[in-house]
Chains A and B, each alone.
Chain A
Amino acid sequence: MKICITSSGKGMDSAVDLRFGRCKYFCIYDTVSRETKVLENAGASSQGGAGIAAAQQVVDEGVEVLITGNLGPNAMRVLRAAGVKAYRAEETDAARAVMMYEAGQLQPIESPVSAHFGMQNKRGDK
Chain B
Amino acid sequence: MLISVLSGKGGTGKTTVAVNLAALMKNACYVDCDVEEPNGHIFLDPVYSKTERVEVMVPAIDKEKCSGCGECVRFCYFNALALVKWQVLLFPEVCHGCGGCIHVCPQNAVTEDKKDIGRIDTGVGGGLECIRGVLEIGEPVGVPIIKKMKAGLREDRTNILDCPPGSSCTVVGAIQGSSYAVLVTEPTNFGLHDLEIAVRLVKKLGIPAGVVINRSGEGDERVVEYCCSEGIPVLGRIPFERGIAEAYSKGGLLTEDARYRKYFEDIARRLEEVLNREAACYYKR
Contact = CB atoms under 8 A, between A and B. Distances in A.
Contacts of A43: 79
A52 B140 contact: no
Given A52-B94, A59-B84, A82-B84, A77 B89 contact: yes
B84 A52 contact: no
B78 interface: yes
Contact of A48 (B83, B85, B140): B140
Contacts, number: 42
Nearest to B79: A49
Interface in B84-124: 84-85, 87, 89, 91, 94
B80 interface: yes
Contacts of A74: 91, 94
A14 interface: no
Given A74-B94, A77-B89, A78-B89, A47 B78 contact: yes
What's the interface size class on B, roughly? 10 to 19
Contacts of A36: none
B201 interface: no
The contact size tier of chain A is 10 to 19
A67 interface: no
Contacts of B79: 43, 46, 48-50, 52-53, 56
Interface string A44-76: 001111101101100100000000000000100
Nearest to A46: B79
A1 B79 CA distance: 27
Contacts of A46: 79
B143 interface: no
A103 interface: no
Given A74-B91, A78-B89, A81-B89, A56 B140 contact: no
18 contacts: A48-B79, A49-B79, A49-B80, A49-B91, A50-B79, A52-B81, A52-B82, A52-B94, A56-B73, A56-B83, A59-B84, A74-B94, A77-B89, A78-B89, A81-B84, A81-B85, A81-B89, A82-B85
